[in-house]
Copies of this chain bind each other. A is one copy, B any other.
Amino acid sequence: MNEPRTYISPLVKVSAKAKMGARVRIDDFTIIHDNVVLGDDVTVESHCILGHPTPLANGQPLVIGSGAMIRSHSVFYEGSTFGAELITGHRVTVREKITAGKNLQIGTLCDFQGHTEFGDYVRTHSNVHIGQKSKIGNCVWIFPYSVLTNDPHPPSDGFLNGVVVEDYAVIATMTCILPGVRVGKRSLVGAHTLVSKDVEPDSVVAGVPGKKVCMTADIKLRDGSDRPAYPWMRHFHRGYPEDIVAAWKLEYGD
């Protein structure tokens, strides 16, 4: 078996000024601009653009931590920084002034508008839109076609008020969160909900407009076991490292 090593397709355009770690792979028809720093073991699939120039980045580079997998047709602007083990779906669009912790997973077609903080182990499924000035905690889940807004009376300027999503919160499919709302720790927002006010920790909100319908502890697993489905950290561990899962067991049981 061959050891992995750096592979850069001849059918790409890669700036000589970009900084690359060891064992990087750049696939066909991809463009890497000047102001890019890739860690070790980063894979960039085909038809991507990394480090798309923008004056809004104030000269800051795009920094991609080690072990990243960026799938095809994705566009990352310069001026954002991602921790290790970033994973994206296809055709994501990610703008400037984002800082993200470890192992952010960005679904296919997601559209991140920039100026956002992400904690560790955040997962956004397909086609999630995150407006500027959002603040996302650790281990948050956001499901497809959800939108985090920021403008209380659009269009406006200088009034942007981002959404805050606290640790372990889950936002289900096709949900719209209004500006300035705080989605509390370990809460669950049901599918197709318009969230117009703060969601209290461990509660479940649903409807248009969203109203509290129960506590997450009231939702049982669909396996006849009568075990609670939340906090989800008790039964869902796929893709998290052992030390995190061990800490969850201590805090939340299993």
Contact = CB atoms under 8 A, between A and B. Distances in A.
A153 B221 contact: yes
The 3 nearest A-B residue pairs measured at CB: A153-B229, A192-B194, A176-B192
A235 B154 CA distance: 11
A29 interface: yes
Interface in A120-146: 123, 126-127, 129, 141, 143-145
A129 B144 contact: yes
A13 B9 CA distance: 11
Contacts of A145: 129, 145, 147, 176
A208 B47 CA distance: 39
A46 B190 CA distance: 39
A172 B207 CA distance: 18
20 contacts: A47-B49, A47-B73, A49-B72, A52-B72, A72-B75, A73-B73, A90-B93, A91-B91, A109-B111, A111-B144, A143-B154, A145-B145, A147-B174, A149-B172, A153-B221, A155-B236, A156-B232, A174-B194, A192-B194, A207-B208
Number of copies: 3
B126 A127 contact: no
Contacts of A91: 73, 91, 93
B155 A170 contact: yes
A234 to B, nearest CB: 11
B174 A176 contact: yes
A242 to B, nearest CB: 16
A82 interface: no
A217 interface: no
A207 B207 CA distance: 10
A31 B46 contact: yes
A161 interface: yes
Contacts of A129: 126-127, 144-145
A230 interface: yes
A127 B93 CA distance: 12
A149 B190 CA distance: 12
A127 B154 contact: no
A253 interface: no
